[in-house]
Structure 1
Amino acid sequence: MIEIIPVETPSLGDRGYLVTDGKVAFVVDPQRDIDRVLRLAERRGVEIRHVFETHVHNDYVTGGPALASATGADYHVNAADPVEFDRCPIEDGDVVEIGPRTRLRAVATPGHTFTHLSYVLECPDRPPAVFTGGSLLHGTTGRPDLLGPEHTGALARAQHASAHRLARELPAETGVFPTHGFGSFCSAAQSDVTESTIGRELRVNPVLTRGEDEYVKALLAGLDVYPAYYAHMAPLNLAGPDAPDLSPPRHADAAELHRRLRAGEWVVDLRSRTAFASGHLAGTLNFGLDGNLAVYLGWLLPWGTPVTLLGETPGDIARAQRELARIGIDRPAAAATGGPAEWAGDDKPASMPSATFADLAAVRRSRPIVVLDVRREIEWRGSHLPGAIHIPLHELPARLGEVPDGEVWTHCASGYRASIAASILAAAGRDVVAVHDAYDGRAAAA
């Protein structure tokens, strides 16, 4: 009996898959920390014989080469992809025999990239399944603009054609197993759906319910920005990345932390925004483990800047290290555990006021303040507070000089990005308050 086991990476909004018949297994689109997949295979007592990539990923560093090396599996990558490592080239129509009664068929589905492949799992005792990578997602499709604006229009039309090919060639009961679409910025839109079939997608997915021109127009109008670190992922993946070194970073004492801050390096506090507000080492930046740490740190960090991690426990450091390795930030320069009293040394820990939208409304009636909205442009266009200044978080480090003088109150949709922004402003010497509240409370600040 075939078992399809998702390997979730919620922080990046992605899934890989381990698929087994109880004896042998294959893997689709593995993340870089392959130990998760190896443990799954070991617990089930199965041998991984094949690893498949649907495309050269733009949002994470693949674990494909490392997993194939560790297991001796065949590594299947599109023959047209200009990779710098040995692989088993595969292309549209090729069939790979997985077991005595199971096979995987490659189907060209360009749109997310030009060389994107989907893989159809066929065996006699169950409906087909299709691993669609960044092509047909649950209720949406992968975005077509990651290869540059000059290709976006052509890729959007290819995405429409690819989805219709899958819908035309596969029966309605075919399970749809995408890699993106669970929060990834590689998805053209977000969906809360966790499983689907071709039949369901035919009813609800705009790529299958709309004509090509209507779909393309709506798709392009709805595209939002994507993280800056994406620019580094494809080159890393084409080169064939190794498995990450997840051994503990070297310890930094208070004196070293101060030296690194003076040198302009990034010292990142992984604690929650409430803990950070209560006390922190002055000059540190708050990217909490309770949010999309890798996405936002990777987005804002000047690529190659040394990063030192501060966490309450060694487990916090290890978790952050794993998250960052998935996007190619391989080795923290150093790390420290404990709390701000230890990190600050002879200095007194700093603190930061936090507030709600109701607090913001009351203060605006009593004195002038700067309200800084750090949400993305698409969120700002949806609605915003009257009189607020808008600088998206990912643009803030380069636009600090545009923040008006005075006391700054930062807000986003939930408080996570507001705390990052407040820590950046505080490190620059600004007087700042972080709104730790959901934007649904915006009426209180009107």
Structure 2
Amino acid sequence: MQIVVIETPELGDRSYLVHAGGAGFVVDPQRDIDRMLSAIESAGVRLSHVFETHIHNDYVSGGLALSAATGAHYVVAGADQVHFPRVPAGDGSQFQSGQLTVAALHTPGHTPNHLAYVVTEGGRQEAVFTGGSLLYGTVGRTDLISPESTEELTRSQFRSTRRLLASLPGDTRVMPTHGFGSFCASGGTATGRGGDIAQERLRNLAGTIGDETQFVTTVSSGLGPYPSYYRHMAPLNRHGPSAFLAPPHGGSASPALIRQRLSERAWVIDTRPRRTFAGAHLEGTVSMELDDSFTTYVGWLAPFDSPIMLLADRPQDFVLAKRNLARIGMDQIEGNSSGVDRLSGQFPIRSYPVVAFRELQLPLADGAFVLDVRQPDEWRAGHLRGAHHLPLQDLPTHLGELPHEPIWVHCGVGFRASVAASLIDRAGLEVVLVDDDFDRARAAGLPVVI
């Protein structure tokens, strides 16, 4: 049996192609199914099934589109209400994919109707595809359905994950969908890049905490904020989203349209590196460097159902950004990929300084306004004495409360601070971007307190 892993680091998730003897199946495909179709073709696989572990809350599924493109059966929990044809599955359901047998296990917790899939070949339980239940070192978060159901789902997660740990052989490989930087993991990013049941018995929260109440307390205490776009994902996935079609070329929005969007206070996002943006950018634009955090924070901060304008220096950057946003259902994308420098002569230009933590020592001692835009758990673990805390996702609604003096903004490594700096600049305030790793703050002589 071969397992092909399709990584989506921009969202911290994995999809899987599993095959043996020329037949195979897919677990939890993302919307841009061209990647999976390419893997299927390369492996020479006849696809029999597409399995969903749950109705996803952090990305748009490509399951229905992949099923339509390949003729494979689309398997979704029978208890989930969906608006498309599917093969229903429940606890104990079995499916045959060539020489592989796939058995569904009801594993509620991450969602009420969550399923895990155990794959057997030649009488051996080779792997279990755990979706958002048993992750590497931790479990999937349990608060995405509603506050009222969180405790019940956390208790269900305890029982579900311990069932997997107790019932499967130690050498059964654990293959989760979430847990690689996804906000769907409880307590932050899960540890480890791979594992089996024996390893998870030793390192997983579900394996090391034997008391259900203590497990609930531990998991609940690690449930921090999650992106606002999540609330749109389940409704889209229940209705059966379409596949993503890659644009044939870059963006060609005219300067007049860009100017119109800026006048409307729409989100015009500059995808260039953050230091390039700080050096010179079109007035009113927002910095969102095209890296692995791009998708999450555009989805978290920008209005979900409104047009978004992307500015890029290369057509391939625009195409990649559009693909990334399609994965979370943001399809109203306009753009210009001819290069921001070519547009600069037609728009007012702004800039702001970029410094490291060592350059903050004297201003902080003199009472400078320092803004920390990290998450609450990061702030509690250590922050600069005298700094002000405002998580990035809360900044847009609090810009009017910031002072009319230089604002020195920092985060953990620079990306979130660069977004915050551009929003502060967009509001007409004076800002200094501290583009540095927070681990260097103490070494720079700055007072870090808990």
**Aligning the two structures, in what range does the TM-score lie when normalised by the shorter sequence?**
over 0.9
SS of match in other structure, 1:345: helix
- Counterpart of 1:44 in structure 2 is 43
TM-score normalised by length of structure 1: 0.97
CA distance in 1, matches of 2:56, 2:213: 27
Q: Equivalent of 1:115, from 113, 116, 121?
A: 113
2:97 aligned partner: 98
Query: How far 1:126 sits from its partner (Å)?
Result: 5.3
More divergent stretch after superposition (419-428 vs 239-248):
239-248
**Letter of the structure 2 residue corresponding to residue 185 of structure 1:** F
The aligned runs of 1:260-409 (5 Å cut-off) are: 260-332=261-333, 334-365=334-365, 367-409=366-408
Partner of 1:259: 260
Distance 2:348 2:265 in 1: 20
Q: 1:79 corresponds to which residue? A: 78
Moved >3 Å (runs of 4+): none
SS at 2:32 equivalent:
coil
Tell me, yes or no, if structure 1 residue 228 matches structure 2 residue 200.
no
1:331-361 per-residue CA deviation (whole Å, 9 max, x = no partner) reads 41x2112433322333353222111111111
Q: RMSD between aligned alpha carbons? A: 1.3
Distance of 2:332 and 2:27 partners within structure 1:
26
Cα 1:169–1:291 shift into 2, 3 Å: closer
Q: Residues 174 and 197 of structure 2 are in contact (CA less than 8 Å); yes or no, is this contact kept in structure 1?
A: yes
- Deviations along 1:54-113, one digit per CA (max 9) or x if unpaired, are 0000000000000001111100000000000000111110100111x3110000000000
Q: Which amino acid aligns with 2:308?
A: V
Provide the residue aligned with 1:172 in structure 2.
170
Cα distance in 2 for partners of 1:44, 1:423 equals 45
Equivalent position amino acid for 2:166 in 1: R
Q: Is the 8 A contact 1:245 1:330 kept in 2?
A: no
- Residue 30 (structure 1) shift: 0.3
Residue 246 of structure 1, CA deviation: 2.3
Change (3 A) 1:346 1:206: closer
- SS for the counterpart of 1:176 is strand
- Give the aligned residue type for 2:401: E
Residue 180 of structure 2 aligns with which residue? 182
Which residue of structure 2 aligns with residue 27 of structure 1? 26
CA distance in 2, matches of 1:22, 1:33: 26
Give the unaligned 5+ runs of structure 1: none
CA-CA distance at 1:49 after TM superposition: 1.6
Amino acid aligned to 2:223: L
Q: Partner residue of 2:420?
A: 421
What percent identity do the matched residue pairs reach?
A: 47
Q: Which amino acid aligns with 1:206?
A: L
Q: Deviations over 1:370-423 (max 9, x none)?
A: 111101111111111111111110010011122223111110000000000000
Whether contact under 8 Å (2:251, 2:337) holds in the other structure is: no
Q: Is the 8 A contact 2:137 2:191 kept in 1?
A: no
Q: CA deviation at 1:167?
A: 1.5
2: CA distance between counterparts of 1:348 and 1:184? 38
Distance 2:388 2:290 in 1: 27
Per the alignment, in what secondary structure is the counterpart of residue 259 of structure 2?
helix
1:57 aligned partner: 56
Once the two structures are superposed, residues 179-231 of structure 1 have per-residue CA deviations (whole angstroms, 9 ceiling, x without a partner) of 00000000003234111111111111121121211111111111111000000
* Equivalent AA in structure 2 for residue 104 of structure 1: V
Q: What is the distance in 1 between the residues matched to 2:341 and 2:433?
A: 22
Q: Is the 8 A contact 2:32 2:323 kept in 1?
A: yes
Q: Which amino acid aligns with 2:15?
A: G
Do 2:404 and 2:430's aligned partners in 1 also have CA atoms closer than 8 Å?
Answer: no
In the aligned structure 2, how far is the partner of 1:352 from the partner of 1:76? 52
In the alignment, is residue 237 of structure 1 matched against residue 237 of structure 2? yes
Gaps of 5+ in 2: none
In 2 relative to 1, CA 256–262 (structure 1 residues): closer, same or farther, beyond 3 Å?
same
**1:279 & 1:22 partners in 2: Cα distance?**
56
Q: Distance in 2 between matches of 1:406 and 1:135?
A: 47
CA distance in 2, matches of 1:263, 1:348: 16
Q: In the TM superposition, what whole-angstrom CA distance separates every residue of 1:137-173 from its partner, at most 9, and x where no partner exists?
A: 0100000100111000000000010011112211111
Deviates more, 1:436-445 or 1:66-75: 436-445
For this pair of structures, how many residues does the alignment match?
442
Question: Per-residue deviation at 1:250?
Answer: 4.9
1:236-273 per-residue CA deviation (whole Å, 9 max, x = no partner) reads 00010000232246512323212210011111011111
Q: What secondary structure, in the 3-state scheme, does the structure 1 residue paired with 2:25 have?
A: strand
* Alignment partners' CA distance in 1, 2:289 and 2:57: 24
